[in-house]
Amino acid sequence: MLLLMLVVPYLSGSRIREIWTVFLTMQTIKWLFGVLKAEFRLVEFPVRFFPYATQQDFATDFALCPAMAVFYAMIVRGRTLRVQLGYAACFAAVYALWSWAMTKWTNLQVHLHWRSEFDFLFVWVMLPAVKRISDWILAKPTAASDGEVRR
């Protein structure tokens, strides 16, 4: 709910496509990564939504991380790569702290052969990558792609 309240001010008609593109791109990547972590028994989620459907954490992989990616993408619009990487490091630190806290103080997540530092690295790399993928998907077509030949 808190993430939704943070993202709502950025919602406008012109940004809806960008928001959904970032959200779905991060959700797809995080789903694949989460399935691999769960199937290779790197992490375990004893308490989870939809226990018969998936072995991974639904809330984190399908809601928290994609919403965080949308928030990141809206903040770093038009900023330099250095600033984007700085913001990505801050977001990744918060995500790694979340993962560490869930492992340390709850039974929602158990790291078998995994560490929160790996979560930090994954999110730090994936946030700028998802932003670039989104920019590539939403790029305006050039004259050459409209059937004209450049000389």
Among 25-29, 92-96, 114-118, name the one with the lowest average pLDDT.
114-118
Give the relative orientation of helices 65-75 and 116-137 as an angle to the nearest 10 degrees: 60
What whole-number distance in Å separates Cα of residue 3 and Cα of residue 74? 13
Burial 9-31 (b: 16+ CB within 10 A, else e): eeeeeeeeebbebbbebbbebbb
> pLDDT for 48-100, tens place per residue?
776 666 777 777 888 888 989 998 998 998 899 899 999 999 999 999 998 89
The alpha carbon of residue 72 and the mean position of all alpha carbons in its chain are separated, in whole angstroms, by 9
Q: Is the pTM of this model over 0.85?
A: no
Tens-digit pLDDT profile for residues 36-54: 888 898 888 777 776 666 7
